[in-house]
Amino acid sequence: MAETIRVLVTGAAGQIAYSLLYSIAKGDVFGKDQPLALILLDIPPMLPVLEGVVMELQDCALPLLKEVIPTDKEEVAFKDLDAAILVGSMPRKEGMERKDLLKANVAIFKSQGAALEKYAKKTVKVLVVGNPANTNCLIAAKSAPSIPKENFSCLTRLDHNRARSQVAMRCGIPADNVKNVIIWGNHSSTQYPDVHHCTVNVQGKDVAAFDMVKDDDWLKGDFISTVQQRGAAVIKARKLSSAMSAAKAICDHMRDIWTGTPEGEFISMGVYSSGNLYGVPDDLIYSFPVTIKDKTWKIVDGLAINDFSRAKMDATAAELVEERDTAISFLGV
């Protein structure tokens, strides 16, 4: 049996975590022979709810789950971590300005970054889910200077999965027959879902998505806006945010970090932009196409970028620069 790894989930009494914890605990993410301890962090008022979550995890009687530790203390939660999934963040409340939301979250992720710096392993892999995810991830990374920036990423896999599914439904094929869609930029409504490098597998043959769909207006119009606005559409219909699909995307993202991406395929994740070859400004967490091997991601280089894509990539980068600069102005507060 492998050595037990320590996995933290924050916001652990919330609804995304409720959809996520079972999949992690039964081995869908870190492997079917990887024992783990789950550390569950939430704010003090949520501790009674968290106790119920702990009881349910115990009642699942899962062989890989060696320990469950519920806590509201960072020094307990962040100790000796192998993986941290930071789901908890301040949600946007009615009438709240984006700037106010950023200010609240900068405080949370500065504190959690400092806790990672102080208590976690330097090899810890950190996935930020709580929104605004890209900028929260950047603040956490900046607050943990001795942990490599490459160890931090934010979730755009949900957007990636949404894009993949839209193309699959349009073509009448299973979603796993669609590969190499790209989400560029921010996990916000400025993100750019790009299918210029996407292929669909039909009767064993890979065909370019544009050739298969044969509707450029849809691919450059409604397809993009559907993916960009999907989260809002789910909230409107369900009166709650997308928890099941977010949990699935978190599992996909962390499993790929742990086990690597399939040969010939790339996935989307928000990673540190410095040194990229796509003209994206340095010092952002920006979503790129990446491949992963030996727990190390690499941006897929050399993809042709047309003028349509360039404009969309620049627009989402501009939003991220503004978010970053606003967030950093709060850091000294």
Residue 332 lies in a domain: no
The CATH number of whichever domain residue 195 belongs to comes to 3.90.110.10
End residue of a domain, out of 154, 184, 202 = 154
Do 290 and 177 share a structural domain? yes
Do 117 and 55 share a structural domain? yes
End residue of a domain, out of 128, 154, 180 = 154
What would the mean pLDDT of 14-24 be, rounded to a whole number? Answer: 97
CB 245 within 8 A of CB 264: no
Q: Closest Cα to residue 58, out of 43, 31, 40, 45?
A: 40
First to last CA, the chain: 47
Q: Is 230 annotated as a binding residue?
A: no
Do 69 and 114 share a structural domain? yes
Do 110 and 94 share a structural domain? yes
Do 176 and 294 share a structural domain? yes
Average pLDDT, the chain: 96
Do 213 and 264 share a structural domain? yes
Residues in the chain: 333
What are the contacts of 193-200 at 24+ separation with CB within 8 A?
193/159, 193/162, 193/163, 193/223, 193/224, 193/227, 193/228, 194/309, 194/312, 195/163, 195/167, 195/219, 195/223, 196/303, 196/304, 196/306, 196/309, 197/289, 197/303, 198/167, 200/167, 200/168, 200/171, 200/173
Rounded to whole angstroms, the Cα distance separating 188 from 134 reads: 9
End residue of a domain, out of 125, 154, 183 = 154
Tally of structural domains, the chain: 2
DSSP 56-121: HHHHTT-TTEEEEEEES-HHHHTTT-SEEEE---PPPPTT--HHHHHHHHHHHHHHHHHHHHHHS-
Which structural domain range is residue 98 located in?
5-154
pLDDT digits (tens, 9 = 90+) for 155-198: 999 999 999 999 999 999 999 999 999 999 999 999 999 999 99
The CA R_g of the chain, rounded to the nearest whole Å, is 19
pLDDT digits (tens, 9 = 90+) for 120-147: 999 999 999 999 999 999 999 999 999 9
Do 119 and 33 share a structural domain? yes
Do 145 and 261 share a structural domain? no
In this prediction the pTM is 0.97
Structure tokens at 285: 């967490």
Question: Is 253 known to be catalytic?
Answer: no
Do 179 and 312 share a structural domain? yes
Catalytic residue chosen out of the listed positions 187, 196, 197, 253: 187
Q: Is 95 annotated as a binding residue?
A: no
Q: Is 194 annotated as a binding residue?
A: no
Q: Is 129 annotated as a binding residue?
A: yes
Rounded to whole angstroms, the Cα distance separating 166 from 163 reads: 5
Q: Is 42 annotated as a binding residue?
A: yes
pLDDT of res. 251:
98
Q: Is 131 annotated as a binding residue?
A: yes
Do 168 and 295 share a structural domain? yes
pLDDT digits (tens, 9 = 90+) for 38-82: 999 999 999 999 999 999 999 999 999 999 999 999 999 999 999
pLDDT digits (tens, 9 = 90+) for 200-259: 999 999 999 999 999 999 999 999 999 999 999 999 999 988 999 999 999 999 999 999
Residue 328 lies in a domain: no
Q: Is 180 annotated as a binding residue?
A: no
Do 190 and 73 share a structural domain? no
One-letter amino acid for residue 8 of the chain? L
Do 143 and 65 share a structural domain? yes
Q: Is 159 annotated as a binding residue?
A: no
